């Protein structure tokens, strides 16, 4: 089997005296859409923040294409191919939609490629095209989420990590966002999707992990997890 | 009458331009870190003295090396540019000494007010140690300005060339900086760091390097102002930058904290208002400046062009 794109081995993170992650093993292979599920405070965002070097790991390893990421600062990770669409959208509200997208391509030098990707993003999210000159802060929550995803795509990551893209969106918009992610997956992009909305995430994912209080409790193909009775009871609201 | 008015306006715009330079320096650092760099006034002094030395000025009898100076002076333009760059580098040093250690320890950002004030005091005292407390006049301005006449006659008004240069150079610096911030890739990245440093890092922007860039530019603007004022008036002593630093702070608040157009508008307004004070009452100049500040803040607490602070929900 080929080297996984991303591999976490025994990853631990502590915030002061609180153990947020107590030994996570997680693998993402090239071309997969993997989802990390769990309730609020389970450690899902912490996992992504640790991969992005925004919180320090207290133990364990983060391997990217087989090599350790220890000591690599946050701003170098996109260059290596790791894109991170953070929780809460975090669009730059004082800059225009277009400028947000152009900033997503900050590391790239290929003007023609950037222009082409800009059009591709506008094609993916027609609403952003209509609002390209508006300040990002003036967009609705759903539009900001689309902008955050599009901005992350502008960096041409090999792996796109998304932190709860469905949070705070109307059900119809959740469907739209998931459809775009499924499309990106189909086009060959590797995704690590952190979600509370287990149903929506598992419907488009290849594999899933369930995180509870800093530990992985379940993992497997998405189809199996969708059918798993304990998961259904805990996260899908089914009896 | 018209000539006198023209002269007044030009004087006001010239000093307003320098105020705008200082205020823009504050704005750059404030927008990325949310704190005021109180060493800004000292960097203004540093710029003045560096320009003096680079133009071939000699250290006076009370300095550390009396009579020392460069064997031959550089032309005004080059000296000013190098002095601005030098002040920028010292601004970087201030960041390393007074700001970076606090950030590394996640200290309360307001503490940087004290550490930067301390850095400013050290800089001014170093200047005094090196150059003495005496005033310095620049070499003959005609030589300095590379053959330009001392006085120009425009529309009947006699205008000191250096005043016009002061206005043009500060306007050019302000314009270039604003365009750079607004249009260039680097400027966009700096604004991204100012708004959300963490997200900027996720986009591949080296936030720490951008903070250093802001300090360099901010120091360079102060140094440029110091050099310009030094050439046009004189260097009355190492502390002369402090009063410009304070005036710049007033301009910053007047224009609206963190607003680039606000810093420019505030600077011009302050300069023009001061110029309208008759010379017989020149002692009231600073009083008028701060009276305007109070009046504006009463009517618009966020400053002329300040962003209204919106609570996040």
Which 3 state secondary structure label does DSSP give B237?
coil
Measured between alpha carbons, how far is A81 from B248 in angstroms, rounded to an integer? 44
Best mutation target, B181, B197, B199, to test chain A (most A CBs within 10 A): B199
Measured between alpha carbons, how far is A147 from A91 in angstroms, rounded to an integer? 7
Q: Per-residue pLDDT tens, chain A, 239 aa: give them.
A: 689 999 999 999 999 888 999 999 999 999 999 999 998 889 999 999 999 999 999 999 999 999 999 999 999 999 999 999 999 889 999 999 999 999 999 999 999 999 999 999 999 999 999 999 999 999 998 999 999 999 999 999 999 999 999 988 889 999 999 999 999 999 999 999 999 999 999 999 999 999 999 999 999 999 999 988 888 777 766 54
> Shortest CB distance from B201 goes to which of A74, A93, A155?
A74
> Shortest CB distance from B204 goes to which of A54, A78, A95?
A78
Range list of H helices, B34-144: 40-54, 76-94, 100-104, 111-131, 141-144
Residue A108, min C-alpha distance to chain B (Å): 10
Range list of H helices, B138-196: 141-144, 161-183, 185-195
Q: Which residues of B touch A151 (CB under 8 A)?
A: 203
**What pLDDT, on a 0 to 100 scale, did the predictor assign at position B142?**
47
> Shortest CB distance from A75 goes to which of B185, B195, B206?
B206
> At B219, is the pLDDT very low, low, confident or very high (cuts 50, 70, 90)?
very high
Residue of A nearest to B198 (CA): A54
Residue with tokens 């320098």, as numbered in its chain: B18
Domains of chain B by start residue, with CATH: 2-299 (1.10.3470)
> Shortest CB distance from A95 goes to which of B185, B188, B198?
B188
Q: Which residues of A touch B202 (CB under 8 A)?
A: 52, 54, 74, 77-78, 83-84, 86
Q: Which residues of A touch B258 (CB under 8 A)?
A: none
> At B18, is the pLDDT very low, low, confident or very high (cuts 50, 70, 90)?
very high
Q: Do B196 and A79 touch (CB under 8 A)?
A: no
Residue of B nearest to A162 (CA): B202
Measured between alpha carbons, how far is A160 from A83 in angstroms, rounded to an integer? 5
Residue B258, min C-alpha distance to chain A (Å): 12
Best mutation target, A81, A82, A92, to test chain B (most B CBs within 10 A): A92
CA distances from A228 to A37, A221, A223, B100 (A): 14, 11, 9, 51
Residue of A nearest to B312 (CA): A137
Residue B262, min C-alpha distance to chain A (Å): 16
* Residue A88 burial by Cβ neighbours in a 10 Å radius (0-12, 13-18, 19+): middle
> Shortest CB distance from B202 goes to which of A74, A95, A99?
A74
Q: Which residues of B touch A155 (CB under 8 A)?
A: 203-204
Strand partners, A216: A211
């Amino acid at each position: 089997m080929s080297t996984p794109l991303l591999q976490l081995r025994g990853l631990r993170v502590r915030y002061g005296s609180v153990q947020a992650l107590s030994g996570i093993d997680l693998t993402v292979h090239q071309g997969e859409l993997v989802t990390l599920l769990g309730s609020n405070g389970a450690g899902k965002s912490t996992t992504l923040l640790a991969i992005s070097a925004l919180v320090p790991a207290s133990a364990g390893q983060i391997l990217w294409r087989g090599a350790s990421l220890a000591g690599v600062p946050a701003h170098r990770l996109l260059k290596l191919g790791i894109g991170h669409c953070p929780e809460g959208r975090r669009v730059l509200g004082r800059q225009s939609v277009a400028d947000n997208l152009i900033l997503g391509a900050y590391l790239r030098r290929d003007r023609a490629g950037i222009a082409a990707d800009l059009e591709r993003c506008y094609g993916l999210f027609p609403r952003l095209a209509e609002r390209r000159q508006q300040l990002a802060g003036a967009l609705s929550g759903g539009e900001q989420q689309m902008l955050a995803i599009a901005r992350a795509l502008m960096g041409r990551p090999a792996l796109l990590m998304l932190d709860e893209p469905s949070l705070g969106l109307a059900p119809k918009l959740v469907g739209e966002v998931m459809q775009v992610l499924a499309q990106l997956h189909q086009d060959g992009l590797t995704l690590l999707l952190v979600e509370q909305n287990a149903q929506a995430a598992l419907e488009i994912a290849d594999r899933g992990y369930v995180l509870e209080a800093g530990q992985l409790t379940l993992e497997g193909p998405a189809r199996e997890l969708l059918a798993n009775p304990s998961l259904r009871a805990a996260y899908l609201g089914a009896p | 009458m018209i000539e006198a008015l023209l002269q007044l306006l030009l004087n006001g715009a010239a000093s307003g331009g320098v105020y705008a330079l200082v205020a823009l320096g504050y704005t750059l650092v404030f927008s990325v870190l949310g704190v005021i760099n109180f060493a800004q006034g000292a960097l203004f002094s540093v710029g003045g003295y560096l320009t003096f030395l680079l133009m071939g000025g000699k250290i006076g009898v009370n300095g550390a090396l009396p009579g020392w100076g460069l064997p031959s002076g550089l032309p005004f333009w080059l000296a000013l540019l190098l002095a601005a760059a030098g002040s920028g580098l010292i601004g970087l040093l201030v960041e390393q000494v007074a700001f970076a250690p606090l950030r590394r320890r996640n200290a309360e950002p307001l503490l940087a007010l004290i550490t930067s004030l301390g850095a400013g005091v050290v800089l001014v005292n170093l200047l005094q140690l090196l150059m003495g407390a005496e005033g310095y006049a620049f070499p003959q301005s005609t030589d300095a300005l590379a053959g330009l006449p001392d006085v120009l006659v425009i529309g009947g008004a006699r205008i000191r060339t250096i005043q016009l240069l002061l206005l043009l150079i500060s306007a050019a610096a302000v314009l270039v900086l604003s365009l750079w911030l607004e249009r260039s890739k680097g400027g966009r990245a700096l604004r991204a760091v100012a708004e959300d440093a963490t997200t900027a890092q996720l986009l591949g922007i080296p936030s720490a390097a951008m903070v250093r860039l802001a300090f360099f530019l901010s120091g360079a603007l102060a140094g440029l102002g110091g050099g310009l004022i030094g050439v046009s008036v004189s260097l009355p002593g190492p502390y002369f930058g402090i009063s410009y630093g304070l005036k710049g702070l007033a301009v910053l608040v007047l224009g609206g904290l963190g607003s680039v157009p606000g810093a420019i508008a505030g600077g011009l307004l302050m300069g023009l208002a001061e110029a309208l004070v008759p010379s017989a009452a020149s002692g009231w100049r600073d009083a008028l400046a701060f009276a305007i500040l109070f009046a504006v803040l009463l009517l618009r607490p966020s400053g002329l062009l300040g962003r209204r602070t919106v609570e996040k929900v």
